């Protein structure tokens, strides 16, 4: 295990913050249009560039991208979205179990003519979603045999475990992420589900239940996707010498952290949305660092959710809140120490597309005695790209940062 440096490392991640220039914003991106005085001040005294978090040929999901940012090669370690979120819950899995991420979604119909209306069922509340999952677990015939297990999660994000299915034909089914399908036909996915008798039957049973009087929410179907075998990662502290923690409202980040042996921090009122408890996330991160922690990965989901919704004003506001309520207080607390800050997004979620794209992401590195300043006035996608610095593959970013600030040879 490498020796632990005395320096603190803060990775501050605004999920999906990166975007494309927009005519509505005079050719600026939402990051360029947002008022971000703290990030801009750090850019004037720091280093910026691009990081390719999505390896060629891999889907541009938050699972792949955040695995890269934590220093793990997705090409070697990624097994699927579902297994990462299962790790967050500490599920006891067998090596040959097939684990699916399972959304509660709103569709026009679960058939060849169906359209995906909302991948989140109107951002269904966790309590309402759990009630539906509990009722389906108690009543759907497909969930009584034991080979399929529906596990409640947070809001619209749940899990489906197919016992012993990890090497069967269902492991090879291609189902698109529902957040890629807003207002689009689902015929290809319905046809893919039909290739699995177990899944097709479960989905029809669930759709019938969700269409009934016991469902007061917008959820109309289950949507299993992102399947894979259980996740195993090398221990983060053994790998880096850093005692690390993750702080996030979403199981994806918590699962990566738990699988890597990191501390999973908690705060009341964190939602993954614009109204999240920013102060609670910051305080939990400070408490960890001040009690002997070396590395914190603080993740804010709101910009990505606003990108999927196609809401320009909300995405700008989410970035401004990230700067004012996450970056600023942490910079005020640690900016005059020898702490190293990395500010980045995991992937771009362009408002014009309302889904992820695999382009390199902008990142900013700041530490107090930085002597290799990029000479930027503001932190945007374009200013980061103009430095010419590209970290590729992206899972080398953490190692590059530790070498750049002098903690690695």
In-domain check, residue 3: no
Predicted local confidence at residue 3, as pLDDT = 67
In-domain check, residue 4: no
Of the residues 182, 199, 228, the one at which a domain ends? 228
pLDDT at 286 over 70: yes
Q: What percent of the chain has pLDDT over 70?
A: 99
Distances 400 to 138, 197, 359, 405, 409 between C-alpha atoms, Å: 51, 48, 20, 9, 10
**Chain centre distance of CA 197:** 31
Provide the domain limits for residue 115: 86-228
In-domain check, residue 409: no
Mean pLDDT of the chain: 96
Residue among 245, 297, 253, 295 nearest 272 (CA): 253
Do both 199 and 237 map to the same domain? no
Q: What are phi and psi of 154, to 5 degrees?
A: -115, 130
pLDDT at 193 over 70: yes
With tokens 């010419």, the residue in question is: 388
Per DSSP, the three-state class of 107 is strand
Q: What percent of the chain has pLDDT over 90?
A: 94
Q: Quick one: CA torsion of 346, 43, 318, 220, rounded to 10 degrees? A: -10
Do both 191 and 237 map to the same domain? no
158: buried, middle or exposed (CB in 10 Å: 19+, 13-18, 0-12)?
A: buried
**C-alpha torsion sign, points 329, 333, 338, 339:** negative
pTM here is 0.90
Predicted local confidence at residue 4, as pLDDT = 64
Predicted local confidence at residue 372, as pLDDT = 78
What is the spatial distance between Cα 347 and Cα 326, in angstroms, rounded to a whole number? 19
Span 53-75, average pLDDT: 97
Q: Give the confidence band of 327 by pLDDT, cuts at 50, 70, 90.
A: very high
In-domain check, residue 264: yes
Predicted local confidence at residue 370, as pLDDT = 86
CB 379 within 8 A of CB 343: yes
User: Which helix (DSSP H) or strand (DSSP E) does residue 321 occupy?
Assistant: helix 312-322
Do both 387 and 250 map to the same domain? yes
- pLDDT tens per residue, range 369-403: 887 777 799 999 999 999 999 999 999 999 999 99
Do both 307 and 379 map to the same domain? yes
- Min mean pLDDT across 18-22, 168-172, 368-372 is at 368-372
Span 230-259, average pLDDT: 97
Residues 6+ apart with CB under 8 A from 212: none
Do both 210 and 240 map to the same domain? no
The better pLDDT of the pair 4, 36 is held by 36
Predicted local confidence at residue 161, as pLDDT = 98
Q: What are phi and psi of 102, to 5 degrees?
A: -135, 110
Predicted local confidence at residue 407, as pLDDT = 74
Span 177-183, average pLDDT: 94
What is the spatial distance between Cα 273 and Cα 393, in angstroms, rounded to a whole number? 30
Of the residues 228, 246, 274, the one at which a domain ends? 228
In-domain check, residue 81: no
Do both 211 and 254 map to the same domain? no
End-to-end CA distance of the chain: 15
Angle at 13 between CA 9 and CA 15, to 5 degrees: 165
Do both 23 and 126 map to the same domain? no
Predicted local confidence at residue 190, as pLDDT = 97
The better pLDDT of the pair 409, 274 is held by 274
pLDDT at 78 over 70: yes
Here the CATH number for the domain that contains residue 265 is: 3.40.720.10
Distances 349 to 62, 95, 379 between C-alpha atoms, Å: 10, 34, 17
Q: How many domains does the chain have?
A: 2
What is the spatial distance between Cα 86 and Cα 95, in angstroms, rounded to a whole number? 13
What is the spatial distance between Cα 395 and Cα 66, in angstroms, rounded to a whole number? 9
Of the residues 228, 254, 289, the one at which a domain ends? 228
């Amino acid at each position: 295990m490498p020796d632990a440096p005395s320096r603190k490392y803060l990775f501050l991640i605004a999920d999906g913050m990166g975007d494309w220039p927009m005519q509505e914003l005079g050719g600026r991106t939402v990051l360029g249009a947002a008022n971000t005085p703290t990030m801009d001040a750090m850019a004037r005294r720091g280093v910026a560039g691009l990081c390719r978090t999505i390896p060629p040929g891999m889907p541009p999901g938050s699972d792949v991208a955040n695995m890269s940012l934590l220093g793990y090669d997705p090409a070697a370690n990624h097994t699927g979205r579902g297994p990462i979120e299962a790790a967050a819950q500490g599920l006891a899995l067998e090596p040959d179990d097939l684990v699916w991420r399972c959304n509660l979604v709103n569709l026009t119909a679960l058939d060849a003519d169906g359209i995906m209306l909302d991948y989140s069922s109107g951002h269904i509340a966790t309590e309402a979603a759990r009630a539906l999952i509990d009722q389906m677990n108690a009543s759907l015939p497909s969930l009584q045999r034991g080979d399929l297990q529906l596990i409640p999660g947070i809001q619209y994000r749940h899990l489906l475990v197919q016992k012993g299915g990890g090497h069967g034909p269902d492991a090879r089914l291609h189902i698109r992420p529902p957040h890629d399908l807003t207002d689009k036909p689902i015929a290809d996915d319905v046809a893919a589900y039909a290739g699995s008798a177990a899944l097709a039957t479960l989905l029809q049973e669930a759709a019938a239940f969700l269409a009934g009087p016991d469902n007061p929410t917008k959820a109309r179907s289950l949507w299993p996707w992102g399947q894979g075998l259980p996740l195993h990662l090398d221990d983060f502290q053994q790998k880096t010498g850093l005692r690390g923690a993750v702080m996030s409202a979403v199981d994806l980040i918590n699962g990566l952290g738990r699988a890597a042996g990191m501390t999973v921090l908690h705060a009341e009122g964190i939602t993954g949305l614009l109204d999240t408890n920013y102060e609670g996330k910051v305080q939990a991160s400070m408490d960890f660092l001040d009690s002997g922690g070396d590395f914190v990965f603080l993740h804010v989901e709101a910009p990505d959710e606003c990108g999927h919704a196609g809401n320009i004003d909300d995405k700008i506001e989410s970035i401004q809140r990230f700067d004012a309520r996450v970056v600023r207080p942490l910079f005020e607390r640690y900016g005059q120490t020898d702490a190293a800050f990395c500010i980045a997004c995991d992937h771009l979620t362009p408002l014009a597309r309302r889904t992820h794209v695999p382009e390199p992401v902008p990142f900013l590195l700041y530490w107090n005695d930085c002597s290799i300043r990029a000479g930027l006035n503001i932190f945007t996608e374009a200013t980061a790209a103009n430095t010419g610095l590209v970290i590729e593959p992206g899972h080398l970013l953490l190692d590059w940062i530790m070498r750049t600030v002098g903690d690695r040879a």
